[in-house]
Amino acid sequence: MTIKKTQIDPSKSAQIVTEARRNQELREQSYRGQALKMYPWICGRCTREFDHKNLNELTVHHRNHNHDDNPADGSNWELLCLYCHDNEHQRYEETRFGSSKRATSDSATAGSHNPFANLKDMIKKGN
């Protein structure tokens, strides 16, 4: 049995990638522009203020992490600085996929001492 491999046309592939990137940029400009008109230029986490000089450091965060969910009322957006936005996505990924390093280190260092193990007996002795 032979498997037939299909050839990918490099020019067609490049065209698809270019179009996808252009569409993404248009989508981002659209909701970013709307969000910057709607909300004050302040990070929603650290409250850092922005002006025209550093506005490129203020990003639009999708609260439900779905970049295609862009309601006109802006209810899925919040403005975050680059650092807080990165932190938000890191926390989301850790929650979503778990952090095996953290789980391993926490379970390895967890104590086995229970200060209340003999509490019932101590209370009986006290009476």
Quick: pLDDT tens for 38-68: 999 999 999 999 999 999 999 999 999 998 8
Contact (Cβ atoms closer than 8 angstroms) between residue 57 and residue 50: yes
61: burial class by Cβ within 10 Å (0-12, 13-18, 19+)? buried
- Kind and range of the H or E run holding 43: none
Instruction: Look over the chain and give the mean of its residue pLDDT values, rounded to a whole number.
Output: 83
Structure tokens at 77: 């957006």
Domain topology for 25-98: His-Me finger endonuclease fold (3.40.1800)
The average pLDDT across 79-103 equals 83
Q: What radius of gyration do the chain's Cα atoms show?
A: 26
Q: Tell me the per-residue pLDDT of 115-127, one tens digit each, with 9 for 90 and over.
A: 777 778 878 887 6
What is the predicted pLDDT for the residue at 1? 61
Three-class secondary structure of residue 22 per DSSP: helix
Give Cβ neighbours of residue 34 (< 8 Å, ≥ 6 apart).
Answer: 70, 72, 74
Full-prediction pTM beyond 0.75?
Answer: no
